């Protein structure tokens, strides 16, 4: 069996349960990971982790982060607008969660308000891709490659970021993990990465031949010839086998955290497990779909509200589970391919738009603030007369996270063809 250093583990869920790393027969990468901590991330010597969450389908950023201080918002959305709390007729549980007198959260995201108050949640509004496409496929590709308008890019921006990190950080086979069935576009490239979902029932795709090897972990390992699994490949198998032996069923979320049921909640729980296990996780990725709300989107209730409730519950559980100390070394970044039309359509939904909103959560986040320039929602201020206009290029947010959180200053390599620089950062990361 020909096996190279990049493995694609599909169909399932890997969970790290026991967190004790002491004991015999540990994989060799764990020892090196511990030794590498002093050269990772910021000056405190602890490894920094980015958790990237892609909201596939184009979330309605105007109802996620509501500009309730602007009259035009209510004029554009007679049935979809989230009412202000000061409206005494309104059920307070269904009104906007005020943040700063102008912006507020959708009521389904009320559980995130404490993070805002603690200045651990920052928001960037009117952010997105300068490319005008309204194709989900193209827009997602452009955001994951971070080369808007260019379809020929071979690798994703997170993979390029990993490629350009200092050599000392490249210690663990679990350095980059996607909790998805398939490897996302953003992690494809020369740097090794894993897409993992279930260790008890999985397929490994090996090398360019895409040969699938069915069966349990031990049978796969035994099928390999003596030299087929060497170096990084062998260490990856050893690491996965180590995590399997720990018994995932033993894991319990801490601090009273309750993850939402379903794939999204499970993926966040598993990311928390990997962080706690200290296996050298630097970049984690997952996604959540269901945001393409053309028909009967709903306002405070309805399909958008249900999706936002799952998102908010998952984010809240992740932060609670990790605890304040660990979250000082973690940044959670949400993104979506584009926003939705400012004006509701004839079927009480919204169509494909332009600029959107992003969440940034972490101990070093400059939270309690909506960052970026607000373009306004008057007809003459809208992009092409229909969408929230773009004032922040998403690459400037990605670049700020890469440089200020993960310590990678090689922005020209991460964002080819774009003049990324600290002068364009929005100040959302400390």
Backbone angles phi, psi at 36, to 5 degrees: -80, -10
pLDDT at 87: 56
Contact present, 14 and 272 (Cβ < 8 Å): no
Phi, psi of 161 (to 5 degrees): -65, -40
Percentage of the residues of the chain whose pLDDT score is greater than 70: 75
- 28-36 and 232-245 are packed helices; what angle lies between their axes, rounded to 10 degrees? 100
Q: Is residue 301 part of a domain?
A: yes
Q: Give the H or E element holding residue 359.
A: strand 356-362
The sign of the dihedral angle between the CA atoms of 421, 424, 427, 429 is negative
Task: Give CB contacts under 8 A, 24+ apart, made by 137-142.
Answer: 139/58, 139/337, 139/338, 140/54, 140/56, 140/185, 140/337, 141/185, 142/337
In 10 A of CB 296, how many CB atoms?
Answer: 12
**Which stretches in the chain have pLDDT values below 70?**
1-45, 86-91, 167-171, 198-250
341 is a domain residue: yes
Backbone torsion region of residue 222, taken as left when φ is above 0, otherwise alpha when ψ lies between -120 and 50, otherwise beta: alpha
Angle between helices 263-277 and 303-327 (to 10 degrees): 10
Joined together, the tokens standing for residue 252 give: 């319990």
Does residue 247 form part of some domain?
no
DSSP label at residue 347: T
Give the pLDDT confidence score for residue 75 in this predicted structure.
98
How confident is the model at residue 168, as a pLDDT?
61
Per-residue pLDDT, 252: 86
DSSP 60-125: -HHHHEE-TT-HHHHHH-TTTPPPPTT-TTS-GGGS-EESSSS-EE-GGGGGGHHHHHTT-EEEEE
Query: What is the DSSP secondary structure assignment for residue 261, as one 8-state letter?
Result: S
Residue 18 included in any domain? no
Residue 4 phi, psi dihedral angles, 5° rounding: -100, -170
Which of 221, 195, 138 shows the shortest CA–CA distance to 11? 195
Per-residue pLDDT tens digits for 259-281? 999 999 999 998 998 898 888 89
User: Hey, which residues does 206 pair with through a beta bridge?
Assistant: 7, 211
Say how far apart CA 216 and CA 204 lie, in whole Å: 10
The number of distinct structural domains making up the chain is 1
Placement of tokens 């990361």 in the chain: 429
pLDDT, residue 248, reads 54
Structural domain contains residue 224:
no
pLDDT of residue 165: 87
* Residues in CB range of 276: below 8 A, 6 or more apart: 16, 19, 322, 326
Q: Collapsing DSSP states into helix, strand and coil, what is residue 328?
A: coil
Q: Tell me, what's the pLDDT at 23?
A: 42
Q: Cα separation of 46 and 60, whole Å?
A: 36
The CATH number of residue 277's host domain is 3.40.720
Q: What is the DSSP string of 165-182?
A: S-GGG---TTSEEE-SSS
Q: Cα–Cα–Cα angle for 197, 203, 208, nearest 5°?
A: 110
- Tell me the sheet residues that pair with 365: 429
Provide the token pair at 317: 């559980």
Query: What pLDDT score was predicted for residue 9?
Result: 34
- Beta strands of 185-275 (E only): which ranges? 194-195, 203-206, 211-213
The gap between the terminal CA atoms of the chain, to the nearest Å, is: 47
- Nearest CA to 332 among 356, 314, 354, 346? 314
- Is residue 242 assigned to a domain? no
In the numeric block, which tokens belong to residue 70?
């602007």
User: For 360-397, how does the pLDDT look when each residue is reduced to its tens digit (9 = 90+)?
Assistant: 999 899 999 999 999 999 999 999 999 999 999 999 99
Q: Is residue 180 part of a domain?
A: yes
CA torsion angle for 237, 239, 244, 246 (degrees, to 10)? Answer: 160
Instruction: Provide the residue range defining the domain that includes 183.
Output: 41-190+258-424
55 within a domain of the structure (yes/no): yes
């Amino acid at each position: 069996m020909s096996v190279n250093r990049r493995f694609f583990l599909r169909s399932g869920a890997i969970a790290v349960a026991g967190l004790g790393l002491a004991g015999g027969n540990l994989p060799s990468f764990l020892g090196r990971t511990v030794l590498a901590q002093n050269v990772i991330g910021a000056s405190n010597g602890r490894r920094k982790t980015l958790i990237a969450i892609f909201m596939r389908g184009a979330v309605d950023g105007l109802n996620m982060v509501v500009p309730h201080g602007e009259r035009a918002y209510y004029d554009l959305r007679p049935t979809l607008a989230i009412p202000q709390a000061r409206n005494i007729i309104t059920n307070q549980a269904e009104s906007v969660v005020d943040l700063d007198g102008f912006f507020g959260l959708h009521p389904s995201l009320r559980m995130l308000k404490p993070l805002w108050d603690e200045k651990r949640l920052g928001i960037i509004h009117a952010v997105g891709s300068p490319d005008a496409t309204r194709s989900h496929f193209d827009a997602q590709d452009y955001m994951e490659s971070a080369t808007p308008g260019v379809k020929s890019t071979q690798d994703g921006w997170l993979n390029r970021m990993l490629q350009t990190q200092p050599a000392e950080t490249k210690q663990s086979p679990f350095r980059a993990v996607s909790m998805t069935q398939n490897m996302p576009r953003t992690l494809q490239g020369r740097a090794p990465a894993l897409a993992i979902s279930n260790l008890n029932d999985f397929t490994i795709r090996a090398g360019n031949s895409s040969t699938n090897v069915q069966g349990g972990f031990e049978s796969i390992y035994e099928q390999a010839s003596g030299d087929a699994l060497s170096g990084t490949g062998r260490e990856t198998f050893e690491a996965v086998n180590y995590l399997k032996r720990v018994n995932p069923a033993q894991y319990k979320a801490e601090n009273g955290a309750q993850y939402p049921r379903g794939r999204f909640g499970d993926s966040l729980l598993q990311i928390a497990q990997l962080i706690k296990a200290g296996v050298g996780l630097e970049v984690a990725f997952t996604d959540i779909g269901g945001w393409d709300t053309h028909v009967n989107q709903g306002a405070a209730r309805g399909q958008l509200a249900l999706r936002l409730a799952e998102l908010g519950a998952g984010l809240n559980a992740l932060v609670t589970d990790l605890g304040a100390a660990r979250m000082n070394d973690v940044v959670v970044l949400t993104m979506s391919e584009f926003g939705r039309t400012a004006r509701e359509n004839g079927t009480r939904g919204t169509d494909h738009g332009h600029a959107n909103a992003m969440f940034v959560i972490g101990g070093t986040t400059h939270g309690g603030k909506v960052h970026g320039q607000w373009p306004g929602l008057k007809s003459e201020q809208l992009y092409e007369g229909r969408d929230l206009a773009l004032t922040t290029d998403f690459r400037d947010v990605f670049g700020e996270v890469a440089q200020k959180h993960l310590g990678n200053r090689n922005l020209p390599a991460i964002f080819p063809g774009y003049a990324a620089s600290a002068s364009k950062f929005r100040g959302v990361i400390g």
